[in-house]
């Protein structure tokens, strides 16, 4: 996913590529839903974008097969994506189901404060059947310590504060975007959000698994950082009707 405001590649992207390289051999024999087979089976594909992509050609992205898109809205309480309106509204106008995401910086302000900032700057939800619940992008810190200097317990509390406030403001539980290795390291592989919050897993090894504790399946899988669509490449784990149901709430 488009990570920090400073650099899309950033520390997190570099770390993930190292992890990917190490994991390819171990996961080569794992039975998994591959992007190609997912699309062939009717599973919707989409992308996620940020200021790195600038103004997106949504007609071309839709022609490439996209059914949905997430756009970065905010980071911390100090940054809004200057291209967000074109990306978020452009996807909608092109007929895609769209959503917004927030890049978390748990060492700068509290979870509830960042949820409020997100909702107030494009991260809300409406029951129009074309808007996905907002997503919390919680992962490697591109600016410093991997877990933002928080203990595992403090990180779980921060995430809970964000999710609860987002739910209070919108009536929806946010999607959680993360990687399994970060989740294990920084939350102790906490399972308590799995009942409410859909999982958006990032894994470039050709397999979405292993998943963080508690989630028996993923809702979205980010399987590549480039491809035929504008941004990172994603697939939804279900039929288009289920994607519509997620948007409707």
**C-alpha–C-alpha distance, residues 103 and 71, integer Å:** 11
**CB–CB of 163/173 below 8 Å?**
yes
Query: pLDDT (tens digit, 9 = 90+) per residue, 181-217?
Result: 999 999 999 999 999 999 999 999 999 999 999 999 9
Res 36: pLDDT: 43
Distances (CA, A) of 119 to 70, 110, 126, 215: 15, 14, 12, 26
**pTM for the model:** 0.88
Q: Which two tokens stand for residue 196?
A: 């409410």
Res 235: pLDDT: 97
Provide the annotated active-site residues.
Answer: 48, 137, 139
**CB–CB of 50/12 below 8 Å?**
no
Res 17: pLDDT: 37
Q: What is the pLDDT along the chain (249 residues), one digit of tens a residue?
A: 644 444 333 334 434 433 433 333 333 323 344 444 455 467 999 999 999 999 999 999 999 999 999 999 999 999 999 999 999 999 999 999 999 999 999 999 999 999 999 999 999 999 999 999 999 999 999 999 999 999 999 999 999 999 999 999 999 999 999 999 999 999 999 999 999 999 999 999 999 999 999 999 999 999 999 999 999 999 999 999 999 999 999
Q: Give the domains, in start order, of the chain with CATH numbers.
A: 10-25+37-192+206-248 (3.20.20.80)
Res 42: pLDDT: 78
Query: pLDDT (tens digit, 9 = 90+) per residue, 145-177?
Result: 999 999 999 999 999 999 999 999 999 999 999
Percent of the chain with pLDDT over 70: 84
- Of 206, 235, 208, the residue nearest 67 (C-alpha): 235
The pairing of strands 220-224 and 97-103 is: unpaired
């Amino acid at each position: 996913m488009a990570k920090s405001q400073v650099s899309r590649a950033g520390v997190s992207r570099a770390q993930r590529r190292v992890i990917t390289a190490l994991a390819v051999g171990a996961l080569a024999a794992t039975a998994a839903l591959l992007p190609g087979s997912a699309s062939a089976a009717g599973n919707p594909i989409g992308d996620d974008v940020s200021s790195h992509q600038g103004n997106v050609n949504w007609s071309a992205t839709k022609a490439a097969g996209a059914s949905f898109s997430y756009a970065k809205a905010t980071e911390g309480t100090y940054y809004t994506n200057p291209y967000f309106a074109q990306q978020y509204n452009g996807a909608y106008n092109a007929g895609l189901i769209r959503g917004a995401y927030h890049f978390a910086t748990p060492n700068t302000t509290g979870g509830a404060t960042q949820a409020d900032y997100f909702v107030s700057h494009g991260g809300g939800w409406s029951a129009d059947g074309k808007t996905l619940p907002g997503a919390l992008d919680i992962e490697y810190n591109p600016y410093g310590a991997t877990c933002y200097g928080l203990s595992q317990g403090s990180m779980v509390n921060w995430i809970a504060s964000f999710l609860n406030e987002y739910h209070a403001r919108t009536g929806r539980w946010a999607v959680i975007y993360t990687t399994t290795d970060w989740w294990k390291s920084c939350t102790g592989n906490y399972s308590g959000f799995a009942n409410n919050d859909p999982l958006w897993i990032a894994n470039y090894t050709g397999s979405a698994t292993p998943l963080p504790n508690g989630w028996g399946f993923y809702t979205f899988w980010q399987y590549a950082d480039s491809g035929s669509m504008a941004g990172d490449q994603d697939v939804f784990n279900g039929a288009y009707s289920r994607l519509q149901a997620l948007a409707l709430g």
